[in-house]
Chain A
Amino acid sequence: MDLLDTTAAVMTPERVRFRYRLAGPGRRAVAWLIDALLRLIVVVGVMTVVVLLSIIPGVGAVGQGLFLVVLFISEWVYGVFFETVLGGRTPGKLLLSLRVVREDGSPGRFTDYLLRNLVRAVDYLPGFFAIGLTSMLFDRRLRRVGDLVGGTVVVVEERDSVRDRAEIQPPVSEEERVALPARVDLSREELSVIELFLRRRKRLSDDRAEELAWLFGPALSERTGVTAPTWERVLALAYARAVGKDR
């Protein structure tokens, strides 16, 4: 069974399969706002220069033309330019660790970026990205119309970590070891849940840990014959014996 999540699996040409974390409207709206702010700063900057220069006769109108060209660039060229140059990222996407890739996970190409950025004109419609938002709601990979035409998805590239180890604290003592049944059989699922519990133990309060262990401890104790003063210890000892970690 696939759990509901914001990821999508891709298969690279080398037949390696991995999952990408997809970016939806939340992160992308923020990236878009940052890009919009940058564009606004440049446009306002150019406008200021044009207004300042317009005191020189004859230059004012040239400045006006230049300003309109800058406006055109900010509206139509900004996205495709940066995505092409920065490998699928605009400055806003870079700041939020977003990247545009093709649906199969391979890097985007100029034509993909071109189409997805042009069709943004439709995603805007009729206002406030209503079409784009609707499209993202109905698409399993959170794509807007521009992504559908360009064949792209936006993914999150963020560092993750594998830190915590599954530890039994304190270690299994000699008496406990002797008292343990000779064989404890745990299913794969049970092992992985208890392992997760042990790994997260440090970040839970003692009361909470015992409360959680109580949910499974009694049933486990009854089935395997493992006993201990606390339910938490029951889980830990059963796990230790099952994986041979008690020595």
Chain B
Amino acid sequence: MSERDRFVEKGRPRWERLEDLLGQVFLTAKDWSELASLYRGACADLSRARSLSLSDDVHRYLDQLAGRAHNRLYSTRSGSGWSILRMAFVEAPAEIRAQWRFFLLASLLFYGPFFAGAGAALWDVDLAYQILPESQLAQMEAMYDDPDMVRGAGEDASMAGFYIWNNVGIALRCFATGVLGGLGSMFFLVYNGLMIGTVFGYLFSVGNGWNLLAFTAGHSAWELTGIVVSGAAGLKLGFALIVTHGRTRAGSLRRVAPSLARLVLGAAVLLFVAAAIEGFWSASGLWPSIKFAFGVVQIGIVGLWIALVGGRRT
């Protein structure tokens, strides 16, 4: 019998038992401890097979066996629901504070074009037509013609769904495209800032501005901050790819990954709340003054959340 065949003969009963355990969906506590010890045995066999330089098929078999056992043993828990919620609601604002440079940069990239677009449209309506097609502006004008744009309750839910699908999706894409050296995120920030600003400026210059402002007062704090935070996350992602501080690019990404995850979750929270408010509150027939007051409260809530929640991050 060859060295290899002896080795296989000796190991086979243990390996087959391990295969059995791996095939089972539910394991008792006793099974788990047996699995762990069989896994250690397989690892020892693997390193012995390597030192004896047995044939390739033995290596391959033990590699896959050890790999599967390893994954089964260690992949039971990968973050509880609570820890994820904590990350989104508590750790995210602290992370935004810690990443204030990127937050500031994203704000500039967003609000700069925003005020530029608004200013241009206010100064000369024709400039608005240069930025956005006339048909789209006319549509906006018609939409905010009526001061109280009351919708049915069902329609509210439909719009909330739309805002989640559309707005949160855009923000997530804004983050993801940061991997293109930050360019994608920059584009999203500038583009959206300019569009929204132009619409505001245009509607004020044609006289429907206060209707739009009343409509947006409730959710704008959440929504605009959400866009900026997702943009900040994308910028940080792009920055980590370019400035690696002597690490490999992959290593540099690895270092910022947890902070990116927190920022994205924070942006998602902001945008979900925005979608809910925009869907169920913003189009209600309440007096504009109430809506403005509500909007001021929302600004306060968002501001306090970012400023205070979560303690210090290092």
Contacts and interface: CB of A to CB of B under 8 A. Distances in A.
B160 interface: yes
Contacts of A101: 71, 75
A108 B253 contact: no
B63 A20 contact: yes
| Interface SS majority for chain B | helix
Interface string A180-209: 000000001000100110010000000000
B237 interface: yes
Nearest to A191: B2
Contacts of B67: 18-21, 105, 155, 157
A115 B169 contact: no
Interface stretch (A24-32, A161-169, A220-228, A230-238): A161-169
Given A149-B257, A151-B254, A121 B71 contact: no
Given A165-B5, A188-B53, A121 B74 contact: no
Interface residues of B, number: 68
A115 B8 CA distance: 42
Given A114-B261, A149-B253, A159-B19, A16 B168 contact: no
B168 A76 contact: yes
A107 B250 contact: no
Contact of B161 (A16, A67, A155): A67
B154 A59 contact: yes
B176 A62 contact: no
Interface in A113-128: 113-115, 118-122, 125
B71 A61 contact: no
Interface in B71-105: 71, 74-76, 78-79, 83-84, 87
| Residue from the set A68, A106, A107, A162 with the largest chain B CB neighbour count within 10 Å | A162
A67 B159 CA distance: 11
B79 A14 contact: no
Contacts of B279: 65
A68 B164 contact: yes
A99 B173 CA distance: 25
Contacts of A62: 153-154, 157-158
A155 B67 CA distance: 10
Interface residues of A, number: 68
Nearest to B260: A115
Given A18-B67, A99-B71, A118-B176, A65 B78 contact: no
Given A61-B158, A65-B157, A16 B47 contact: yes
B22 to A, nearest CB: 9
B63 A18 contact: yes
B264 interface: yes
B43 interface: yes
A120 B8 CA distance: 43
Contacts of B161: 64-69, 72
A91 interface: no
B64 A21 contact: yes
Contact of B175 (A72, A118, A155, A195): A118
Contacts of B62: 18
B71 A157 contact: yes
A19 B60 CA distance: 8
Nearest to B15: A162
B254 to A, nearest CB: 5
Interface in B171-193: 172-173, 175-177, 179-180, 184
Q: Which 4 pairs show the lowest CB-CB distances between chains A and B?
A: A65-B161, A61-B154, A110-B79, A68-B161
Given A21-B63, A113-B78, 19 more contacts: A18-B63, A19-B67, A62-B157, A64-B158, A65-B161, A65-B162, A72-B169, A87-B71, A101-B71, A106-B74, A110-B84, A111-B257, A114-B264, A148-B250, A162-B8, A162-B58, A165-B1, A245-B1, A245-B2
Interface of A: 7, 12, 14, 16-21, 58-62, 64-69, 71-72, 75-76, 84, 87-88, 99, 101, 103, 105-115, 118-122, 125, 145, 148-151, 155, 157-162, 165-166, 188, 192, 195-196, 199, 243, 245
